[in-house]
Structure 1
């Protein structure tokens, strides 16, 4: 069972920052999960929310701000350190030449960001990151379908907070080959059924030892965790 660092090692560093991502690399995580938004000048930035209010010392919506505006705020304020909101290019540069899988959650479920799918593909291709190193996920499954139509060579994963009827057929329809369910969304039998039809399963966000043990027993492909070292300590058989 592989371990993906959720927003980097956010248990000990400001989430979605280069320090958190470097900590995931240093901890030898199998993958990194990051959240992608688009600025008003078309730049792809890594931050969880549609606004910068919760995670920085600034205020405003990402969609109405340029990259230069976002670079002036401190994304490390909750940890009393100085951090910048990173661009996607910076994370791609960190991951290039490593074995890390990069899960990019495209945050179009509230703010649609017209053209973000094309921009994502362009940036990744221009940065020359291997296709097999990238996974796209989103709660907006229309975005996943668009990404699949634009570049079917990339893996797409359905993010789920609630159960969905005939999930395997649904994934086939939109072009997804993986499912990223909340830890309580799917039963054991449902997870096993998804594996039987060849779908990859990576639950989020695992924070307890019983959940780690459950998913290891079920043989899921990976889990998302906030603390890689903690997960490693309790994931060793």
Structure 2
């Protein structure tokens, strides 16, 4: 059955990439969460999507320009009254020891080449014993190849916007076990053939019912959505079928 991965947590209802958003995704029944990581000025791994803090927090400036103690003072809750800090990856991984969720960690190193990010993420994942529940993805495919070399036991998956020709062959060439394509640029045939060739397919960001139905009918490996509750409601219709 197609897994449902909550994009930046349950971001349709709660502030994205916050602990509350992740906790609510788990409560809703999502199979996993997706989050983004970057490095602070002093090398701490923090969970935030944009290279700048401006859109999602009370602050202004580049993530890499803040010390960890400074970035923690910002309010990452733009959807409610309660103040919430930007989480550290440590915080998320500690919480993951209390559940069975999978977690897709996206390395946000396409624009800013954060030195040492791969090593730091892998060291943390390994130290919490979560190697079998993590998927590392990035638009920077050199980075995920490097991750595979550092820790072949952790699954990697390239992210891409455009269609890639025969992605299952590309995947095997970089030792990735899955692909994370933009849902609107990947055809039914590509999804089916990739899965038939042993490559997991987890399209992003799937929010419309029509698109969810399409992927459930194809028995797609998983998809990434802002609204896990809607996705779970639709999945029930397929679970009832013989």
Q: Equivalent residue for 1:72?
A: 73
- 1:128-207 matched pairs, under 5 angstroms: 128-129=129-130, 131-207=131-207
Matched residue, 2:125: 124
Tell whether the 8 Å contact from 1:75 to 1:85 is kept in structure 2 after alignment.
yes
Structure 1: runs of 5 or more not aligned: none
More moved, 55-64 vs 90-99 = 90-99
Q: Distance in 1 between matches of 2:120 and 2:109?
A: 13
1:77 & 1:7 partners in 2: Cα distance?
14
> After the TM superposition, which parts of structure 1 deviate over 6 Å for at least 4 consecutive aligned residues?
none
Q: How many residues align?
A: 236
Query: Counterpart in 2 of 1:236?
Result: 236
- The aligned runs of 1:47-58 (5 Å cut-off) are 47-58=48-59
Q: CA deviation at 1:76?
A: 0.6
Using the alignment, how far apart are the partners of 2:125 and 2:234 within structure 1? 34
> Gaps (5+ residues) in structure 2?
238-242
Provide the rounded CA distance (Å) in 2 between the counterparts of 1:171 and 1:207.
Answer: 26
Residues 168 and 194 of structure 1 are in contact (CA less than 8 Å); yes or no, is this contact kept in structure 2?
yes
**1:41 is the counterpart of 2:42:** yes
Root-mean-square deviation over aligned CA pairs: 1.1
Q: By how many angstroms is 1:136 displaced?
A: 0.5
Q: TM-score, length-normalised on structure 2? A: 0.94
- The Cα shift of 1:230 comes to 1.4
**Structure 1 residue 167: Cα displacement:** 1.7
- Partner of 2:10: helix, strand, or coil? coil
**2:14–2:79: 8 Å Cα contact kept in structure 1?**
no
Report how far residue 165 of structure 1 moved: 2.4
C-alpha displacement of 1:27: 1.1
1:23 is displaced (CA, Å) by 0.3
Between the aligned partners of 2:129 and 2:99, the Cα distance in structure 1 is 13
Using structure 1 for the length normalisation, give the TM-score: 0.96
